[in-house]
């Protein structure tokens, strides 16, 4: 899912405004699968997947594949609707440059919620991004 | 063409709280039974804007919402710059009773959300004789911390962005955008360290788990309404309170989050109006 969101993120006016000072590499782990997002000025330059052995990153977000799948449903169930909801349920680990994450919450929440929009006909119920305009 | 002017008024009351002079802003609308509204942590009385414009409420209730000291248009006390703001159960109760006394409210209904819902449990426990009924919105006895509140107040992160970003997911996913972003705007406007100071009560000082069983609903009826998408006070935490308080009446509100009166007023009133009707009928 995350390997398909670059264009959506890069054309989302809200996220581009919120993320204009974000320059970093984010590792997202979904069970055994890894996604490495390289972000410059709020734009996703690349998404690498695979084993990514000894990969460098600034920020890590780790949850099970099942947790992410439930998080990415177009209308997630209570407890799966926000990154902080996952933190509350102890289903998500965030490590590394937490300052980067906390200072840019709207951006990172919006990016991680973006796969909700990949479902045909869905309107993302995002708590962060407007969800219906680029 | 004249503008629509809302049927509410806002004024300032000068009140001694904790031995200090305070200038407290409050808004009110309607007439009848006083309904004293308590806003969430890090926000202000604007969260009750829709309630004050709802004729079905204001025809029988005098709706009053004050901005807690340090919040909204209420000032911090003189000398505030020397201390970090920190709310405790004791100081919170004191300010609510001080405002109620200062406005000469006769047996008001207290309705609070989040920290206001938590303090509503304290009011039910410690001061039931002073209130006609108590309504706890998103009320739990305790919340297990799930992020470090230090991030809410530090010079190298924008407090408004962090506070609003931290609570954005607590708004239910179906909330209308206009109310979602109005609610978040209030969080963006909070003073530095104020949301964090409120959360000291919510997450540290205000653990009332070992006391809620002492609430006597024969002395003061207790209504608990909680939105299903609230992960700060999830429905099971409200039900856990009700399980220990005989007579407590629980309503779980599908689709709503942590700020029902502000994030989706139209949906919220469907659950609140029957409660207010019961209270009015018992007058």
Residue A58 CA to residue A52 CA, distance in Å, equals: 14
- The dihedral through the CA atoms of B97, B101, B102, B105 has a sign that is positive
Q: Is the pLDDT of residue A109 over 80?
A: yes
Taking the alpha carbons at both ends of chain A, their separation in whole angstroms is 19
Count other C-beta atoms under 10 Å from residue B181's C-beta. Answer: 16
Q: What is the edge-to-edge ordering of all strands in the sheet holding B249-253?
A: B9-17, B20-29, B61-66, B33-38, B109-113, B133-137, B222-227, B249-253
Residue B14 CA to residue B22 CA, distance in Å, equals: 6
> Which one of B154, B182, B227, B229 would you mutate to disrupt binding with A, by most A Cβ within 10 Å of its Cβ?
B229
Asked whether B257 and B172 are in contact (CB, 8 A), the reply is: yes
Q: Is the pLDDT of residue B120 over 70?
A: yes
Residue B92 CA to residue A2 CA, distance in Å, equals: 45
> Backbone phi, then psi, for A93, in 5-degree steps?
-115, 130
Q: Which residues contact B253 (CB under 8 A, 6 or more apart)?
A: B225, B226, B227, B228, B260, B267, B268, B271
Chain A nearest-CA distance from B222, in A, is 25
Tens digits of residue pLDDT in B149-205 = 999 999 999 999 999 999 999 999 999 999 999 999 999 999 999 999 999 999 999
Q: Is the pLDDT of residue B74 over 90?
A: yes
Helices (DSSP H) in chain B: which residue ranges?
49-52, 55-58, 89-102, 115-126, 159-167, 177-188, 194-200, 235-244, 260-263, 265-281
Asked whether B82 and B76 are in contact (CB, 8 A), the reply is: no
The reply to whether residue A88 touches residue B232, judged by beta carbons under 8 angstroms, is yes
pLDDT of residue A131: 44
Asked whether B168 and B161 are in contact (CB, 8 A), the reply is: no
Asked whether B99 and B36 are in contact (CB, 8 A), the reply is: yes
Q: Give chain B positions within 8 Å (CB) of A78.
A: 228-231, 234-235
The reply to whether residue B168 touches residue A98, judged by beta carbons under 8 angstroms, is no
Q: Give chain B positions within 8 Å (CB) of A103.
A: 156-158, 161-162
Chain A nearest-CA distance from B138, in A, is 14
Chain A nearest-CA distance from B165, in A, is 5
**ipTM attached to this prediction:** 0.95
The reply to whether residue A105 touches residue B146, judged by beta carbons under 8 angstroms, is no
> Which one of B169, B188, B195, B259 would you mutate to disrupt binding with A, by most A Cβ within 10 Å of its Cβ?
B169
Q: Give chain B positions within 8 Å (CB) of A109.
A: 165, 168-169
The reply to whether residue A99 touches residue B156, judged by beta carbons under 8 angstroms, is yes
Predicted TM-score of the model (pTM): 0.95
Q: Which helix (H) or strand (E) holds B135?
A: strand B133-137
The reply to whether residue A75 touches residue B173, judged by beta carbons under 8 angstroms, is yes
Q: Give the lowest-confidence range in A1-5, A69-73, A113-117, B173-177.
A: A1-5
Q: Which helix (H) or strand (E) holds B17?
A: strand B9-17
Give me the residue from A75, A85, A98 closest to B169, CB to CB. A85
Mean per-residue pLDDT over chain B, rounded: 97
pLDDT of residue A123: 58
Instruction: Give the residue-averaged pLDDT of A26-48.
Output: 97
Q: Give chain A positions within 8 Å (CB) of B157.
A: 99, 102-103
Query: Which residues does residue B207 pair with via DSSP β-bridges, in sequence order?
Result: none
> Backbone phi, then psi, for B89, in 5-degree steps?
-60, -40
Residue B167 CA to residue B135 CA, distance in Å, equals: 22
């Amino acid at each position: 899912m995350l390997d398909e969101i670059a264009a959506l993120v890069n054309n989302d006016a809200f996220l581009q405004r919120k993320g204009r000072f974000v320059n970093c590499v984010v590792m997202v782990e979904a069970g055994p699968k890894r996604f490495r997002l390289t972000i410059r000025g709020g734009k996703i330059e690349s998404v690498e997947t695979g084993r990514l052995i000894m990969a460098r990153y600034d920020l890590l977000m780790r949850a099970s594949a099942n947790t992410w799948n439930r998080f990415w449903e177009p209308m997630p169930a209570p407890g799966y609707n926000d990154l902080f909801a996952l933190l509350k349920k102890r289903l998500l680990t965030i490590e590394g440059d937490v300052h980067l994450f906390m200072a840019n919450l709207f951006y990172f929440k919006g990016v991680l919620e973006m796969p909700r929009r990949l479902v045909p006909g869905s309107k993302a119920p995002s708590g962060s991004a407007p969800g219906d305009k680029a | 063409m004249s503008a629509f002017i809302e049927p509410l008024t806002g004024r300032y009351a000068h009140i001694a709280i904790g031995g200090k002079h305070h200038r407290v802003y409050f808004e009110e609308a309607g007439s009848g039974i006083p309904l004293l509204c308590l806003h969430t942590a890090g926000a202000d009385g604007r969260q009750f804007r829709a309630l004050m414009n709802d004729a079905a409420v204001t025809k029988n209730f005098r709706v009053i919402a004050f901005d807690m000291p340090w919040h909204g248009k209420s000032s911090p006390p003189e000398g505030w710059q020397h201390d970090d703001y920190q709310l405790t159960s004791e100081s919170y109760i004191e300010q609510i009773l001080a405002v109620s006394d200062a406005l000469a409210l006769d047996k008001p209904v207290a309705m609070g959300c989040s920290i206001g819902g938590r303090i509503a449990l304290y009011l039910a426990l410690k001061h039931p004789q002073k209130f006609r009924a108590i309504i706890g919105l998103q009320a739990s006895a305790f919340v297990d911390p799930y992020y470090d509140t230090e991030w809410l107040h530090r010079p190298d992160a924008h407090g408004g962005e962090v506070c609003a970003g931290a609570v954005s997911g607590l708004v239910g996913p179906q909330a209308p955008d206009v109310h979602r972003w109005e609610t978040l705007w209030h969080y963006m406007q909070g003073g530095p360290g104020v949301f964090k100071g409120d959360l000291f009560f919510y997450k540290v000082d205000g653990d009332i788990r070992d006391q809620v069983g002492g609430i006597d609903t024969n002395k003061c009826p207790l209504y608990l309404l909680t939105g299903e998408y609230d992960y700060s006070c999830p429905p099971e935490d409200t039900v856990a309170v009700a399980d220990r308080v005989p007579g407590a009446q629980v309503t779980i509100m599908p689709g709503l989050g942590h700020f029902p009166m502000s994030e989706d007023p139209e949906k919220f009133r469907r659950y609140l109006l029957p409660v207010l009707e019961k209270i009015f009928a018992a007058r």
